[in-house]
Copies of this chain bind each other. A is one copy, B any other.
Amino acid sequence: MGSRRRVNVDTLNVELGTRSYPILIDAGLIGRAEVFRQHLPARDVLVLSNTTVAPLYLPALAASLGGRRIVEVILPDGEAHKTLASAARVLDVLVANRFGRDCAVLALGGGVVGDLAGFAAACYQRGVAFAQVPTTLLAQVDSAVGGKTGVNHPGGKNLIGAFHQPVLVVSDTATLATLPERELRAGLAEVIKYGLICDAALFAWLEEHLDELLARDGAALAHVIRRSCEIKAAVVGRDEREQGERALLNLGHTFGHALESATGYEEWLHGEAVGAGLSMAAAMSRECGLLTGAEAGRIVRLLERAGLPTRIASVTPAAALEHMRIDKKVLGGRLRLVLLRGIGTAYLTADYPPAALERTLAAHCG
């Protein structure tokens, strides 16, 4: 394999003992063979991608993985394909190629591809190595980090899955140049979320620099990717399996997941649903007297400037509530929600007036 020199790349570590792993962030990483030589020893690699991303980046990635046995699985693009049937297809290909426990599954694409590849890797032979090469802003700031893998069920988002940490995350920021505008905006929803949860300074920075992000300024994008990964890596390092603090990362997601499943995962990108969900979480926090009108207004304005939806016309309040009831944060029959006590301070609670939830849904749905 030749060169054993250290790869010199901006690197963050997710600290999880024997399951720790690096997040590498830089433009052009997909073309750097030494990154994969150093961090991904597997001889047999299944690359999962989709019909949009594969033509753009799979040739360069395959070249960087040179010298190994590569098997490709290319799915249609979209959240509607994040199903148990797609995972079964990946498993069939692993078996058909006689891949052993020492193989790796590599995800090249956005959150759908990453969640699916991770779940297949978790289940194959009770767990094989898994690498993330995220090519969307949303995956680079959020879904590629932290080991939540899974697929959707017609009855609810991500209801089938596993905690399975990757061994490597390679965020090639050059891929964002080809990202559709709509995907870029969807990714910003998760960045805004980090600011709201625990970093008021990041939120204020976004208010100041949003136009640079929308213009795809490289330094601005690198800043929010790094800061988002820092926050997520720290939270995951303290609470890998969501026994507590990690649930805060789901701000806006209980609302958002319900809207996604109510619309059959077809109408919106995940990040768009999170945008509407953040708007609803802010409104609900305002209903509960936790946020000032000025704070709620700043949140909605930033979401609107990012081009994200803040309500949904195609789902009734009753349908939204019905889909929220199967959320993974339901405990003892009681739906827990992440709410805001201010910009930069989120908390998880089941202690809110049901009428506040009803008013929030009535104002944002249908």
Contact = CB atoms under 8 A, between A and B. Distances in A.
Contacts of A154: 95
A163 B123 CA distance: 9
Interface in A69-110: 84, 88, 91-92, 95-96, 98, 100-102
A48 B196 CA distance: 43
A151 to B, nearest CB: 9
Contacts of A332: 43, 100, 102
A326 interface: yes
The number of times this chain is found in the oligomer is 2
Interface of A: 43, 84, 88, 91-92, 95-96, 98, 100-102, 122-127, 148, 150, 153-156, 158-163, 241, 325-326, 328-333
Main secondary structure of the interface of A (DSSP, over half): mixed
A98 B333 CA distance: 9
Given A95-B156, A101-B329, A101-B331, 17 more contacts: A43-B332, A84-B84, A91-B153, A95-B153, A95-B159, A95-B326, A96-B155, A100-B328, A100-B331, A101-B328, A123-B160, A123-B161, A124-B160, A125-B159, A125-B328, A126-B161, A127-B241
Contacts of A92: 153, 155
Contacts of A125: 159, 161, 328
B98 A326 contact: yes
Given A43-B332, A91-B159, A155-B96, A126 B148 contact: yes
Shortest 4 CB-CB contacts between residues of A and residues of B: A95-B155, A100-B330, A126-B161, A125-B328
A41 to B, nearest CB: 11
B162 A162 contact: yes
Residue of A100, A329, A332 most packed against chain B (CB within 10 A): A100
A160 B84 contact: no
Contacts of A122: 162
Contacts of A160: 91, 123-124
Nearest to A150: B126
Contacts of A328: 100-101, 125-126
26 contacts: A43-B332, A84-B91, A95-B154, A98-B325, A98-B326, A98-B330, A100-B328, A100-B331, A100-B332, A101-B330, A101-B331, A122-B162, A123-B160, A123-B161, A124-B159, A125-B159, A125-B161, A126-B148, A126-B150, A126-B161, A126-B162, A126-B163, A126-B241, A127-B162, A127-B241, A162-B162
